[in-house]
Amino acid sequence: MSEQLRRVVQRGLWFEEFDTDVLYEHRPGRTITEADNVLFTAVTMNTQALHLDAAFADAQPPFHQRLVNSMFTLSTLVGLSITQLTQGTIVANLGFSDIAFPKPLFHGDTLYAETVVIEKRESKSRPGEGIVTFAHTGRNQHGDVVATAIRKTLVRKKPD
């Protein structure tokens, strides 16, 4: 029977499929645990006490609790977009800019991601590929913006 079924393989979008007038909402979100934060912080050698030391962080205004490592927030924000946008179609990340963390994430918060394509153009030096610029926004479970980033990527065009 499987020989008669049409196959659909999950992938990101080809260059031609990206539109600049679309808000791509990436679901499901990702609830951030203490273990996630501590592991990422330890693996990346970030010894900031605000991420690792509960007693220290609890005594620090204005939040009085540990903060999720902002680099973990950024990585997860981008990661949440991958299956919908670039899984198997990206060639490379070309750069990040305008990264901001207007509010922190805390253990137990859920991060939701959304993306708008703000620019796309065919590559001048690499036939079969194009440059797509994404504006990523991360929100917590209350809808508060906790992270924003602009990401420029090199994406494959649809094969002939």
Instruction: State pLDDT tens for residues 95-124.
Output: 999 999 999 999 999 999 999 999 999 999
User: The whole model's pTM is what?
Assistant: 0.93
Specify whether domain 23-156 bears CATH 3.10.129.10. Answer: yes
Is residue 155 pLDDT above 70, yes or no?
yes
Q: In the chain, where are the structural domains located?
A: 23-156
pLDDT recorded at residue 30: 98
Query: Per residue in 52-66, pLDDT tens?
Result: 999 999 999 999 999
Q: DSSP string covering 33-89, please?
A: PHHHHHHHHHHTT---HHHH-HHHHHTSTTT-SPPPPHHHHHHHHHHHHHHHHTTTT
Average pLDDT over residues 127-143: 97
